[in-house]
């Protein structure tokens, strides 16, 4: 008697991963987006909607081919070229009249929605950038697909700073509309979860905290120290991080204790940006070295060989943030020294005893931290032991499970019917 045929495996849940910044973009959120998409592609049918990289009027980006080479083979990536707006989108963002400089890309995606989103699936949109959220919002209204929003940053909290606070009401209204449309929301920290829930009277059970993830180390971390010790900063050269404080603190320490120059050197990796030229380069002194932009796989090797890692946030407005490099240092078991406001990153580092932290703008305090780390081998060993202990808490597989649960929960909910006005498709092309 013939055996019954094996049942066909059920098709994987389709996920539209909307992330403007995706490899080959060589920037922090591109790295995180690639890690998330790769992880979800293990058991979901993931289609990435991203921007084809090209320079704009005011903006230019580094390409990182190593990130493309590491993409999961089952990922289906749609790279959409932005509409030609002659740089108007960038100018309007710079003067504060637009919440995002990629709206020309969002418009192009909307125009191609019939081809890109033909099959039902879950919309998964990440912030930054706001254009990702705008696309997902209109698609959810048009097609009724369930929506998951991932906030890696605080949209209205960060946008409504400086003179742009006059737009706070607009930004919070946009944020509230998005949260109400989403079936599930994921955020980087408990503080951001509490802020969003409080601002918009959202059920906290709808929001899940999921930490940033980074590529895992291909080999065990190195614990043999260099001579001199190598302190590494690999990241953006911008006013958000203000890494020049590291060079200022190093110079102050060397002026006080010149013999330590033989025991500690600083290596900076990042783009040769206008901010670097104007605000950072002037502080380079003997013992500090700027190596320019390097591909992410090379950054990983530098981190594996590092003895110490630096991170900073230059403004209390970013107190909620947990930079990607924090989790890279955990992954490679690199003791940290930071300049951070009271908030999520500082609390995580001090709670687990992963490094030393100075106040924002405190050059002398940072110099003292460098001195301690340079001169106390027992301190460095203790920090490395703590990093090895907590690393399993932040592994990608732990965080990816939370995203899968959110996506599956959204898919299980009955998708709302599209608004009548959107059935008539009054927005965009036919």
Residues 250-277: pLDDT tens digits?
999 999 999 999 999 999 999 898 899 9
Asked whether residue 97 falls in the same domain as residue 244, the answer is: no
Please report whether residue 245 resides in a domain.
yes
**Stretch 307-326: mean pLDDT:** 90
Which residues, at least 6 apart from 158, have a Cβ–Cβ distance to it below 8 Å?
Answer: 317, 318
Structural domain contains residue 3: no
> What is the separation, in whole angstroms, between the first and last Cα of the chain?
56
Q: In the structure encoding, which two tokens stand for residue 6, read together?
A: 């094996």
Are the CB atoms for 363 and 383 separated by under 8 Å?
no
Give residue-wise pLDDT tens across range 65-87. 888 989 999 999 999 999 888 77
pLDDT > 90? residue 309 = yes
Q: How confident is the model at residue 427 (pLDDT cuts 50, 70, 90)?
A: very low
The pLDDT of residue 10: 44
Split at pLDDT 50, 70, 90, the class of 26 is: low
Tokens 């906030």 belong to: 151
For residue 2, being part of any structural domain is answered with no
How much is the pLDDT for 383? 98
Q: Are residues 144 and 242 in the same domain?
A: no
User: Band of the pLDDT at 11, cuts 50, 70, 90?
Assistant: low
Same domain, 405 and 347: no
> In this model, does residue 403 exceed pLDDT 50?
yes
On whether both 301 and 180 belong to a single domain, the answer is: no
| Statement to judge: residues 248 and 378 lie in one domain | yes
Residues 367, 259: one domain? yes
pLDDT, tens digit (0-9, with 9 covering 90-100), for 190-213 = 889 999 999 999 999 999 999 999
Strands 14-18 and 45-51, by their bridges, are: parallel
* Cα–Cα distance for residue pair 39/411, rounded to 1 Å: 18
What is the Cα–Cα distance from 336 to 232, expressed in whole angstroms? 10
pLDDT confidence bin for 27, thresholds 50/70/90: low
In a domain, 429, yes or no: no
My answer on whether 280 and 366 are in the same domain is yes
Structure-token match 């991170």, residue found: 311
DSSP assignment letter at 207:
E
- The strand order across the sheet containing 288-290 reads 288-290, 264-269, 229-234, 308-312, 336-339, 355-358
Of the chain, the percentage scoring pLDDT greater than 90 comes to: 65
Q: Among 243, 231, 229, 239, which residue's Cα sits nearest to residue 283?
A: 243
On the question of pLDDT at 222 being above 90, the answer is no
How many C-beta atoms lie closer than 10 Å to residue 371's C-beta?
18
| pLDDT at residue 417 in the model | 47
Domain containing residue 201 = 14-215+399-423
Name the least confident of 153-157, 292-296, 350-354: 153-157
Using CA atoms, how far residue 168 sits from 80, 93, 162, 192, in Å, is: 31, 15, 11, 17
Average pLDDT, the chain: 88
List 309's β-bridge partners, or say none. 232, 336
My answer on whether 151 and 244 are in the same domain is no
Residue 57 domain flag? yes
Residue of 180, 171, 170 lying closest to 149 (CA atoms): 180
What's residue 315's pLDDT?
A: 85
pLDDT value for 6: 32
In a domain, 321, yes or no: yes
Instruction: Establish if 8 belongs to a structural domain.
Output: no
Torsion of CA 281, 307, 345, 162, to 10 degrees: 0
Cβ atoms of residues 264 and 369 within 8 Å? no
Cβ neighbours for 231, distance < 8 A, ≥ 6 positions apart:
246, 264, 265, 266, 267, 306, 307, 308, 309, 310, 337, 370
47/82 same-domain check: yes
Residue 79: the pLDDT is: 96
**Do 74 and 169 reside in the same domain of the chain?**
yes
Alpha carbon 6 to chain centroid, angstroms: 43
Looking at the fold, whether 281 and 337 belong to one and the same domain comes out as yes
pLDDT 10s digits, 237-252: 998 899 999 999 999 9
CA–CA dist 100, 275 (Å, integer): 20
- CATH number for the domain that contains residue 357: 3.40.50.2000
- What is the number of domains present in the chain? 2
Edge-first strand listing for the sheet containing 184-187: 76-80, 45-51, 14-18, 122-127, 147-151, 184-187, 207-209
Q: Is residue 318 one of the residues assigned to a domain?
A: yes
Same domain, 207 and 234: no
List pLDDT tens digits, range 278-303.
999 999 999 999 999 888 888 889 99
Non-local CB neighbours of 142 within 8 Å, separated by 6+ positions: 113, 418, 422, 425, 427
Q: How far apart are CA 181 and CA 196, in angstroms?
A: 14
């Amino acid at each position: 008697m013939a055996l019954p045929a094996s049942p066909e495996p059920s098709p994987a849940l389709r996920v539209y991963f909307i992330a403007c910044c995706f490899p080959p973009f060589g920037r922090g959120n591109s790295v995180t987006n690639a890690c998330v998409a790769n992880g979800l592609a293990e058991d979901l049918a993931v289609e990435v909607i991203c921007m084809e990289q090209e320079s704009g009027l005011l903006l230019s980006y580094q390409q990182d081919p190593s990130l493309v080479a590491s993409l999961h083979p089952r990922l289906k990536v749609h790279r959409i070229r932005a509409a030609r707006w002659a740089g108007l989108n960038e100018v309007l963002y710079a003067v504060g009249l637009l919440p995002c400089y990629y709206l020309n890309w969002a418009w192009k995606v909307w125009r191609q929605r019939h081809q890109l989103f033909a099959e039902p699936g879950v919309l998964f949109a990440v912030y930054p950038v706001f254009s990702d959220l705008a696309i997902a919002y209109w698609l959810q209204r048009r097609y009724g697909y369930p929506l998951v929003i991932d906030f890696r940053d605080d949209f209205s909290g960060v946008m409504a700073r400086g003179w742009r606070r006059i737009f706070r009401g607009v930004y919070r209204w946009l944020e509230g509309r998005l949260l109400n449309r989403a079936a599930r929301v994921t955020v980087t920290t408990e503080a951001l979860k509490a802020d969003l829930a409080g601002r918009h009277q959202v059920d906290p059970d709808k929001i899940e905290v999921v930490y940033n993830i980074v590529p895992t180390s291909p080999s065990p971390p190195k614990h043999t120290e260099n001579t001199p010790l190598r302190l590494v900063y690999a990241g953006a050269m911008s006013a958000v991080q203000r890494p020049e404080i590291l060079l200022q603190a190093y110079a102050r320490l060397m002026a006080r204790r010149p013999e330590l120059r033989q025991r500690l050197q600083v290596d900076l990796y990042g783009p040769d940006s206008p901010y670097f030229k104007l605000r950072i380069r002037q502080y380079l002194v003997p013992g500090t070295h700027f190596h320019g932009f390097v591909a992410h796989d090379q950054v990983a090797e530098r981190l594996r060989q590092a003895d110490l890692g630096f991170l900073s946030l230059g403004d209390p407005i970013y107190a909620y943030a947990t930079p990607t490099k924090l989790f890279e240092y955990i992954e490679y078991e690199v003791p940290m020294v930071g300049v951070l406001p009271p908030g999520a990153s500082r609390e995580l580092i001090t709670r687990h005893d992963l490094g030393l932290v100075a106040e924002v703008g405190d050059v002398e305090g940072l110099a003292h931290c460098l001195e301690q780390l340079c001169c106390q081998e027992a301190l460095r060993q203790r920090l490395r032991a703590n990093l090895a202990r907590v690393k399993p808490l932040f592994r990608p597989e732990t965080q990816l499970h939370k995203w899968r649960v959110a996506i599956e929960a959204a898919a299980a909910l009955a998708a709302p019917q599209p608004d009548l006005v959107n059935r008539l498709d009054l927005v965009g092309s036919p």
